[in-house]
Amino acid sequence: MSERATPYYCPFCGDEDLRPTEEDRGWLCGACRRVFTVNFLGIRLPEGAK
């Protein structure tokens, strides 16, 4: 199982040409050249949910 969440689209330009970067555990977009990370913060239940 991978420790890295895999994005399918760049959040800035929407392109699908993404490559992992090892130095900062981020993703490089081949189209716009931006580097970004994906973080999972958790799951929040609505108030009043049991």
> Residue 21: beta bridge partners?
26
Q: What is the pLDDT of residue 3?
A: 65
Which residue, among 17, 14, 13, 41, has the nearest Cα to 28 in the 3D structure?
A: 17
Domain total of the chain: 1
Q: What is the pLDDT of residue 1?
A: 44
Containing structural domain, residue 5: 1-39
Q: What is the pLDDT of residue 24?
A: 82
Residue by residue, pLDDT tens for the chain (50 residues) are: 456 678 999 999 999 999 999 888 899 999 999 999 988 888 888 887 77
Contact 4, 25 (CB under 8 A): yes
13 domain-assigned: yes
47 CB neighbour count, 10 Å cutoff: 5
Q: What is the pLDDT of residue 37?
A: 92
Q: What is the pLDDT of residue 20?
A: 94
How do beta strands 18-21 and 35-36 pair? Answer: unpaired
Q: What is the pLDDT of residue 39?
A: 83
